[in-house]
Amino acid sequence: MKHRRGFNPLGRMAAHRKALHRSMVTSLFRHERIKTTKAKALEIRRTAEKMITRAKVDSVHNRRIVSARLFDEGIVAKLFTTIAPRMKERGGGYTRILKLSERLGDAAPMVILELVDYKLDTEGSEKKAKKKEAKAKDKEKARADKEEKEEKAG
């Protein structure tokens, strides 16, 4: 039975687990969406939600507490200036877990852990597609120009 167990140790030593938490929460705030296993996501979610709740009140004390648990000061600034104000009206539940298929190697259940207000960058993919088309046209034009020059020279 799992009575009075405070957290999932994830089969790691304390220092390794702490480093894992710090790096995954930092990645979550940096990218606002990460792909991981279900067990890790459930643990990271607890830590991330507590940090977002702290960040809703921007004080020196809260900044120091959050920065002690994150690797990057830039991410701390992002958390306090962009992420927390977006969550100001929410009472909790800042993250969402979306189930994916199992990992091929060990059949571990995979999930996507993301912030609730995360929006996919569809404009970015459209821009990439337009750039790709433009690049293909430029290559085609360059090839045609090269063939013209060869015909004139030959």
Q: 44-90, pLDDT tens digit by residue? A: 999 999 999 999 999 999 999 999 999 899 999 999 999 999 999 98
Confidence band for 154, pLDDT divided at 50, 70 and 90: low
Q: Tens of pLDDT along 84-117?
A: 999 999 899 999 999 999 999 999 999 999 999 8
Question: To the nearest whole number, what is the mean pLDDT of the chain?
Answer: 90
Could you state, in order of their start, the residue ranges of all structural domains in the chain? 1-119, 120-154
Residue 15 corresponds to which tokens in the numbers above? 């220092």
Tell me, which fold does domain 1-119 have in CATH?
A: 50s Ribosomal Protein L17; Chain: A, (3.90.1030)
pTM: 0.75
